[in-house]
Amino acid sequence: MKSTGKDLLWWQRGVVYQIYPRSFKDTTGNGVGDLQGVIEKLDYLDELGVDALWLSPFYPSPMADFGYDVADYCDVDPLFGDLATFDRLVTAAHQRDMRIIIDWVPNHSSDQHPWFLHSRSSREHPQRDWYIWRDPAPDGGPPNNWGSFFGGPAWTFDIQTGQYYLHQFCPEQPELNWRNPELKAAMLDTLRFWLERGVDGFRMDVIGLLIKDAQLRDNPPNPDASPDLRENDLFGRILQVYNMDQDENHVIMREIRAFLDAYEDRCAIGELWGPLDRWVKYYGETGDELHLPFNFRLMDGMSWDAERMRASVDALEAVLPAFAWPNYVLGNHDRMRLATRFGGPAQARVAAMLLLTLRGTPTIYYGEEIGMENVAIPPEKVQDPQGLNLGFERTRDVCRTPMQWDASANAGFCAPGVEPWLPVAGDYGQHNVAVQERTSASMLNLYKRLLTLRRATPALYGGDYQPVDVDADGCYVYLRTASDSRWLVALNFEHAPRIVSVPGESKGRVVLSTHMDREEPVRLNLLTLRANEGVLIALE
Positions touching ligand GLC (CB under 6 A) are 65, 68, 105, 169, 205-206, 271, 333-334
Least spacing, CB of residue 396 vs ligand GLC, in Å: 7
Strand, coil or helix: 479: strand
Of residues 105 and 353, the one with the C-beta less far from ligand GLC: 105
Strand, coil or helix: 380: helix
Of residues 68 and 165, the one with the C-beta less far from ligand GLC: 68
SS (H, E, C) 311-368: HHHHHHHHHCCCCCCCEEECCCCCCCCHHHHCCHHHHHHHHHHHHHHCCCEEEEECCH
* Catalytic choice (51, 175, 200, 205): 205
Of residues 20 and 405, the one with the C-beta less far from ligand GLC: 20
Which H or E run includes 144?
none
Which amino acid, 194?
W
Cβ neighbourhood burial of 49 (10 Å; 0-12, 13-18, 19+): buried
Which H or E run includes 1?
none
Least spacing, CB of residue 208 vs ligand GLC, in Å: 10
Of residues 399 and 477, the one with the C-beta less far from ligand GLC: 399
Residues linked to residue 478 through DSSP beta bridges, in sequence order: 467, 489
Of residues 145 and 386, the one with the C-beta less far from ligand GLC: 386
Least spacing, CB of residue 312 vs ligand GLC, in Å: 21
* Catalytic choice (271, 373, 464, 533): 271
Least spacing, CB of residue 20 vs ligand GLC, in Å: 9
Please state the length of the chain. Answer: 540
Least spacing, CB of residue 299 vs ligand GLC, in Å: 13
- The whole-angstrom separation of Cα 249 and Cα 292 is 16
Closest to 343 measured CA to CA, from 432, 474, 237? 474
- The whole-angstrom separation of Cα 473 and Cα 480 is 21
Least spacing, CB of residue 399 vs ligand GLC, in Å: 11
Of residues 148 and 340, the one with the C-beta less far from ligand GLC: 148
205 as an active site residue: the answer is yes
- The whole-angstrom separation of Cα 14 and Cα 212 is 34
Of residues 148 and 432, the one with the C-beta less far from ligand GLC: 148
SS (H, E, C) 398-429: HHCCCCCCCCCHHHHCCCCCCCCCCCCCCCCC
Closest to 423 measured CA to CA, from 442, 404, 444, 446? 404
Least spacing, CB of residue 191 vs ligand GLC, in Å: 17
Residues linked to residue 522 through DSSP beta bridges, in sequence order: 508
How many CB atoms neighbour CB 303 within 10 A? 10
Is there a contact between 282 and 319 (Cβ–Cβ < 8 Å)?
no
Q: Helices (DSSP H) in 482-534: which residue ranges?
A: none
Catalytic residues: 205, 271
